[in-house]
Amino acid sequence: MATNLTTIVSSKTQTVEITRGKPTVIVGERINPTGRKKLLSALKDGDFEIVRKDALAQVNAGAKIIDVNAGVPGADEKAMLLQMITESRK
């Protein structure tokens, strides 16, 4: 097992290091329409309010990274993902 393995995740405004020598990094994975009918329906309708609320709630709960899943059947996942990320920052 590697002892000095470090994973670095970066955005325009933040860099998060994940390594054994530092505290656990919480990753929020709530923004996922799989198994969440209300979120899936909202995304299909172009309503991103749930995404905004979930992103903020996860950050307030200590998440340093937000995992966003745009798996909406029939949707352009690339475009949906970009819109979800943009909307979650508002």
Q: How confident is the model at residue 1 (pLDDT cuts 50, 70, 90)?
A: low
| Average pLDDT for 38-67 | 94
Residue 12 phi/psi, 5-degree rounding, is: -65, -30
Predicted local distance difference test score (pLDDT) of residue 4: 78
pLDDT on residue 2: 65
Q: What is the pLDDT of residues 16-42, one digit of tens each?
A: 999 988 999 999 999 999 999 999 999
Residue 81 in this model has a pLDDT that exceeds 70: yes
DSSP character for 68?
E
- The pLDDT of residue 9 is 96
The helix/strand count (H/E) of the chain reads as: 3, 4
Where is pLDDT greater, at 26 or 89? Answer: 26
